[in-house]
């Protein structure tokens, strides 16, 4: 059985992705929650994560870190994690990699914070550009490949898991979305695994003051 080291559910966007895949696809795993600081690499994580970050998946002592690498590792045993058909699978990997490597303006301005509900303020030009690109990615995937289900490629895949933290950011910061993007956001919020993660986040008592302060600075109370 796998062991997943993951951070606080309220804050750890990267952990959400790996946890969501394991949970949604019914892959047996043991969850080990560890505290994150919101400041990136931590030596406290080194004993169980080679890069000092979470999530980190353990498979009989072998470590796999980085959420996208975890998805690929799991997909070797559970190929349903990616779309079945070649072009859909290639596009899903493309947009997953784009999320993994990009959208720095949005990440910096809108840290994931599931407990908060903020009024939302006009986004900076850089953040709005990230939002617009995400909306375009969602629209294109749904138009080309999403005819047979509510997810980006019809059925749920690693691409949806990679964009799950953005869904929470759009909710927390009250980001206005066009109709199609809003419908996809709402479908993601109803996913049982997303609801389970949210319940865990709401039950947590620990807080990261720096993250809470940054969120309030950019969103204001709702």
Cis peptide bond prior to 55, omega within 30° of 0:
yes
Domain that holds residue 41: 2-79
For residue 216, the model assigns a pLDDT of 59
Q: Please give the model's pTM, rounded to 2 decimal places.
A: 0.92
Q: Directed axis angle between helix 13-24 and helix 158-172, to 10°?
A: 130
Whether 221 is in a domain gets the answer no
Question: Do 106 and 203 fall into the same domain?
Answer: yes
For residue 52, the model assigns a pLDDT of 76
For residue 185, the model assigns a pLDDT of 98
List, for the chain, all residue ranges whose pLDDT scores fall below the cut of 50.
221-222
For residue 65, the model assigns a pLDDT of 94
SS (H, E, C) 36-80: CCCCCCCHHHCCCCCCCCCCEEEECCEEEECHHHHHHHHHCCCHH
Looking at residue 155, the DSSP 8-state letter turns out to be B
Percent share of the chain, pLDDT over 70: 88
Question: Do 122 and 39 fall into the same domain?
Answer: no
Cβ proximity of 50 and 63 under 8 Å: yes
Residues listed for the chain: 222
Question: Do 103 and 185 fall into the same domain?
Answer: yes
For residue 34, the model assigns a pLDDT of 85
For residue 39, the model assigns a pLDDT of 61
Whether 171 is in a domain gets the answer yes
**CA geometry: angle at 19 spanning 35 and 34, to 5°?**
10
Which of 80, 32, 77 is closest to 58 using CA atoms? 32
Question: Do 165 and 90 fall into the same domain?
Answer: yes
Question: Do 197 and 121 fall into the same domain?
Answer: yes
Question: Do 95 and 192 fall into the same domain?
Answer: yes
For residue 121, the model assigns a pLDDT of 85
For residue 221, the model assigns a pLDDT of 47
Question: Do 35 and 135 fall into the same domain?
Answer: no
- Please count the structural domains in the chain: 2
Question: Do 65 and 24 fall into the same domain?
Answer: yes
For residue 211, the model assigns a pLDDT of 63
Question: Do 114 and 174 fall into the same domain?
Answer: yes
The CATH number of whichever domain residue 88 belongs to comes to 1.20.1050.10
- The secondary element (H helix, E strand) that includes residue 107 is helix 104-109
Strands (E), the chain: 2-6, 29-33, 56-59, 62-65
Among 49, 79, 109, which residue terminates a domain? Answer: 79
Residue 111 in tokens: 């840290």
For residue 119, the model assigns a pLDDT of 84
Whether 58 is in a domain gets the answer yes
């Amino acid at each position: 059985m796998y062991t997943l080291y993951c951070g606080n559910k309220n804050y750890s966007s990267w952990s959400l992705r790996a946890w969501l895949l394991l949970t949604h696809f019914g892959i047996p795993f043991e969850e080990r929650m560890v505290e994150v600081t919101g400041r990136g690499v931590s030596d406290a994580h080194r004993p169980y994560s080679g890069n000092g970050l979470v999530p980190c998946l353990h498979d009989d002592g072998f470590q796999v870190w980085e959420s996208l690498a975890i998805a690929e590792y799991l997909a070797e045993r559970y190929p349903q994690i990616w779309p079945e058909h070649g072009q859909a699978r290639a596009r899903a990997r493309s947009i997953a990699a784009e999320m993994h490597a990009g959208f720095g303006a949005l990440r910096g301005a809108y840290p994931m914070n599931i407990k908060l509900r903020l009024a939302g303020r006009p986004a900076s030009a850089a953040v709005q550009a990230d939002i617009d690109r995400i909306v375009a990615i969602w629209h294109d995937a749904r138009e080309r490949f999403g005819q047979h289900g509510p997810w980006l490629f019809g059925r749920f895949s690693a691409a949806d898991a990679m964009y799950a933290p953005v869904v929470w950011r759009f909710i927390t910061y009250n980001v206005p979305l066009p109709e199609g993007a809003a419908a996809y956001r709402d479908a993601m919020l109803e996913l049982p695994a997303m609801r389970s993660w949210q319940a865990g986040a709401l039950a947590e008592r620990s807080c990261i003051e720096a993250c809470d302060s940054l969120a309030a600075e950019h969103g204001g109370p709702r």
